[in-house]
Amino acid sequence: MTILLNPATTRPAFACRPHCGACCTAPSITSPIPGMPNGKPAGVRCVQLGDDQRCLIFGRPERPAFCGGLQPSHEMCGDSREIAMHWLGELERLTTP
């Protein structure tokens, strides 16, 4: 995992792990996504996740605010995609009524 310095906080900021896509699969998204007008359920791959496991609408206005709010961190991402999927799945379970 690449570690970058976040100049706003002086804490390390983590870059996305290549070929992961856990944050585009594990959580549910309730707002519309291009190609998924009703959002997506937890555990379902987003249609905007490319073959390279990167968001096809990153930085575009149609990207849901939820997605922009997820920021990679060692706590969330761990050392593998499997750890990230588990962590995000647990977060989903704890925050879904």
Give the tens place of pLDDT for each residue, 10-64.
455 678 888 999 999 999 999 999 999 999 999 999 999 999 999 999 999 999 9
In a domain? residue 86: yes
In a domain? residue 8: no
Which distant-in-sequence residues (6+ apart) come within 8 Å of 55 by Cβ? 24, 46, 48, 49, 63, 67
pLDDT at 25: 96
Specify the DSSP element, H or E, that contains 14: strand 12-14
Which distant-in-sequence residues (6+ apart) come within 8 Å of 14 by Cβ? 1, 2, 3, 4, 72, 73, 74, 77
8 A C-beta contact, residue 15 and residue 2: yes
In a domain? residue 6: no
In a domain? residue 13: no
In a domain? residue 44: yes
User: What domain count does the chain have?
Assistant: 1
Q: Among 86, 28, 53, which residue's Cα sits nearest to residue 36?
A: 28
Domain range spanning residue 49? 18-67+76-95
In a domain? residue 31: yes
In a domain? residue 12: no
Confidence of residue 2 (pLDDT cuts 50, 70, 90): very low
In a domain? residue 3: no
